[in-house]
Amino acid sequence: MNTGCQHGRSFVAEILYIDEAVESSRLIEKVRGQGSKVVKQEQLDLPVSNLTSYQELVAQHQLQSKTNVISLDKITVDKKLSKTTGFPEYRLVWRIVRQRVVDNIASVLDIDYLDKSLVPDLTREIGEHSIYAYLEETLKLNIAYARKEITIDHVSDQDQILLDIGRDQHVVSIKSQVYLADGRQFQYTESRHKLDKFRFVDFATRQKE
């Protein structure tokens, strides 16, 4: 699912139901002699079409949450990374990997790349608090819109280590290229979520040609 999203804008959403992913997330429980039944889960609504920071969601939902910065380094974008992120080759970027713990469960893994020419300094403390608050309040950057891709991915080795995966075989992956109001890309992020913890929602409108 590809989306272009902006503050305050909604779009016509396409919803894909993937049976295998749902079952592997324990939303469906097989009972001998009774077939399958839906298991009620406590899920958090995450907006798809808005650019909302994680800390804003924590405050909105009053979550018990902690952010652990796993790594922070500076790297040069190579050809492969350029194709993935949209940043040009040889661009110097920050790479920060963060684990989000919600209700004592490691539920989200965020992998962010930020253009160092636009974000000269980045610390673990900023990463633990809110990168967007730092960008907007300290650096005065005008964050405007993003292109998002949402997929159901097989669990990776990194997911197994840094998320409380349990029996899950899939995660929800949200890949975003994020831009300033002047059209410059400053960020690429991949956010990997446990299937049974979050529900992705949007307000859809009909547009006639």
Cβ–Cβ under 8 Å, residues 185 and 177 = yes
The residues facing 193 across adjacent strands are 108, 172
pLDDT of residue 65: 78
Cα end-to-end distance, the chain, whole Å: 22
pLDDT, tens digit (0-9, with 9 covering 90-100), for 37-93:
443 445 555 556 666 666 666 666 566 779 999 999 999 999 999 999 999 999 999
Separation CA 114–CA 95 (nearest Å):
7
pLDDT, tens digit (0-9, with 9 covering 90-100), for 179-208:
999 999 999 999 998 887 666 666 666 667
Separation CA 40–CA 136 (nearest Å):
39
The whole-chain average pLDDT of the chain stands at 79
pLDDT of residue 53: 62
CB neighbour list of residue 35: distance below 8 Å, 6 or more residues apart = none
> DSSP alpha helices (H): ranges in 62-174?
79-85, 124-129, 131-133, 157-162
pTM: 0.73
Q: What would be the CATH architecture of the domain defined by 44-201?
A: 3-Layer(aba) Sandwich (3.40)
Instruction: Name the residue ranges covered by the structural domains of the chain.
Output: 10-40, 44-201
pLDDT category of residue 25 using cuts at 50, 70 and 90: very low
Higher model confidence: residue 17 or residue 153?
A: 153
CB neighbour list of residue 85: distance below 8 Å, 6 or more residues apart = 77, 93, 113, 177, 188
Joined together, the tokens standing for residue 80 give 């492969």
Residue 48: count of CB within 10 angstroms of its CB: 20
What is the enclosing helix (H) or strand (E) of 145?
A: strand 143-154
pLDDT of residue 24: 41
Does 17 have pLDDT greater than 50?
A: no
pLDDT category of residue 4 using cuts at 50, 70 and 90: low
pLDDT of residue 103: 84
pLDDT, tens digit (0-9, with 9 covering 90-100), for 129-151:
999 999 999 999 999 999 988 88
CB neighbour list of residue 13: distance below 8 Å, 6 or more residues apart = 1, 3, 48, 49, 202, 204
CA angle 53, 81, 117 (to 5 degrees): 60
Higher model confidence: residue 3 or residue 88?
A: 88
Does 159 have pLDDT greater than 90?
A: yes
